[in-house]
C-alpha cells in the first residue's frame, strides 16, 4: 500500500496547525492585546496532537509494509526504543501533551504568561520537526547548519503565515481605525524582518542539499522547489502591495471603505498562497533532493 500522499496530507495539517498556533501567539504578544483567536488555541493544539498520532501510525505502517504489523507490541517497542525517529517522536509527543495542558481553558495560567508558554512550546515543536526530515540525515557541522537554517525558516514562516489568521480577523472586527492601522503597521514591520530570515535560511537549505540552478528544471525535486519559489515570490508581491499601496490608501482615505475591503481580500489571498506554500514544502520534505 502506498502511504506517500496520506502522509503528505497528515504532515501538512500537523505543520499548518503548529504554524498558526505559533504565529497567532506571537501576534497576541507583539500586538499587545489578547485577541479572540486565543479561543482557537485548544482546537489547534488538539489538531496538532491528533495528526501527530496519525503521522506515527501511518509512518510505522509504511515501515513494516502493512497495517497488520501494527498489532504487535514488539513493533512499537522497537520503534520508540531503537530508532532515532521513534525517540524523537516520543519527545515531540511529550511536548504536544504539555502544550495541551497550557491551552486548556481550565488552566490556572492566564494572560501573557500563558501565551508566552504556548508560543515557546509551539516554536520548539516546529523546530523539532527538523529531526524528522532531511536535516536528520546530516552529520557534523552540516547537521548544525541544517538544523539552524530549518529552524529559522519554519519559525519565520510561522510568524508571517501563522499570523495572517489573527490579522484577517482583526480586520473584520469593529475597532477604531487608528488601532487597526497600528496593528497593520506592526505586522508589516515584523513581516519585513521574517521575509529576510526566510530568504536567507532558504538559500542555506538549498545549498546544503546541493541543489544547483540547473537542478531547478532537470530534477523532480528542483521542479517542485521552483513551484515553491514562484508561489513565494507571488506572496511577497502581495504583501508589498498591502504595505505600500492598500495601507497608504487606508491612511490617506480613511473615510472610504474601499482600502479596507481591498486589504481584507488581499490578506485572504495571502492565506491561500501561504497554505499552498506549506503544502509544497511538505512534499519537498518527503522527496530526496537528488531525484
Under a CB-based contact definition with an 8 Å cutoff, are residues 289 and 224 in contact?
Answer: no
CA distances, 206 to each of 1, 76, 91, 149, 231 (Å): 31, 35, 28, 10, 16
CA distances, 270 to each of 31, 125, 221 (Å): 20, 24, 24
User: Is residue 233 in a domain?
Assistant: yes
Q: Which domain holds residue 32?
A: 4-285
201-253 residue pLDDT tens = 999 988 888 777 888 888 999 999 999 999 999 999 999 999 888 888 887 77
User: Is residue 255 in a domain?
Assistant: yes
Grouping H, G, I as helix, E, B as strand and the rest as coil, residue 11 is: helix
User: Is residue 290 in a domain?
Assistant: no
User: Is residue 117 in a domain?
Assistant: yes
From CA 166, how far away is CA 34, in angstroms rounded? 10
85-131 residue pLDDT tens = 899 999 999 999 999 999 987 454 457 888 899 999 999 999 999 88
151-165 residue pLDDT tens = 999 999 999 999 999
CATH number for the domain spanning 33: value is 1.20.1630
User: Is residue 52 in a domain?
Assistant: yes
User: Is residue 80 in a domain?
Assistant: yes
The pLDDT value given to residue 256: 65
Q: What residues contact 73, with CB distance under 8 A and at least 6 apart?
A: none
User: Is residue 179 in a domain?
Assistant: yes
User: Is residue 291 in a domain?
Assistant: no
The more confident residue out of 190 and 32 is 190
Query: Which of 55-59, 101-105, 282-286 shows the lowest per-residue confidence on average (mean pLDDT)?
Result: 101-105
Give the total number of structural domains in the chain: 1
Taking residues 174-195, report their average pLDDT.
Answer: 84
Amino acid at each position: 500500500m502506498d502511504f506517500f500522499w496520506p502522509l503528505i496530507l497528515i504532515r501538512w495539517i500537523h505543520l499548518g496547525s503548529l504554524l498558526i498556533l505559533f504565529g497567532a501567539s506571537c501576534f497576541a504578544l507583539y500586538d499587545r492585546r489578547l485577541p479572540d483567536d486565543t479561543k482557537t488555541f485548544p482546537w489547534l493544539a488538539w489538531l496538532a496532537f491528533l495528526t501527530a498520532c496519525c503521522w506515527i501510525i501511518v509512518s510505522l505502517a509504511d515501515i513494516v509494509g502493512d497495517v497488520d504489523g501494527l498489532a504487535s507490541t514488539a513493533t512499537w517497542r522497537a520503534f520508540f526504543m531503537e530508532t532515532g525517529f521513534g525517540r524523537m517522536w516520543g519527545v515531540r509527543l511529550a511536548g504536544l501533551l504539555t502544550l495541551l495542558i497550557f491551552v486548556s481553558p481550565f488552566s490556572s495560567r492566564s494572560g501573557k504568561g500563558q501565551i508566552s508558554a504556548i508560543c515557546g512550546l509551539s516554536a520548539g515543536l516546529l523546530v523539532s520537526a527538523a529531526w524528522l526530515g532531511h536535516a536528520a540525515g546530516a552529520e557534523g557541522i552540516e547537521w548544525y547548519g541544517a538544523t539552524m537554517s530549518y529552524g529559522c525558516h519554519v519559525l519565520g514562516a510561522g510568524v508571517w503565515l501563522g499570523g495572517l489568521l489573527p490579522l484577517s480577523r482583526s480586520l473584520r472586527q469593529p475597532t477604531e481605525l487608528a488601532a487597526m492601522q497600528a496593528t497593520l503597521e506592526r505586522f508589516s514591520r515584523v513581516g519585513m524582518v521574517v521575509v529576510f530570515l526566510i530568504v536567507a535560511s532558504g538559500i542555506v537549505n538549498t545549498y546544503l542539499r546541493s541543489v544547483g540552478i540547473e537542478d531547478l528544471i532537470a530534477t523532480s525535486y528542483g521542479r517542485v522547489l521552483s513551484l515553491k519559489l514562484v508561489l513565494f515570490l507571488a506572496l511577497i508581491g502581495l504583501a508589498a502591495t498591502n504595505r505600500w499601496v492598500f495601507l497608504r490608501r487606508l491612511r490617506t482615505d480613511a473615510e472610504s471603505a474601499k482600502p479596507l475591503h481591498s486589504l481584507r481580500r488581499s490578506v485572504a489571498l495571502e492565506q491561500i498562497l501561504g497554505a499552498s506554500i506549506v503544502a509544497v514544502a511538505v512534499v519537498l520534505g518527503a522527496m530526496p533532493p537528488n531525484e
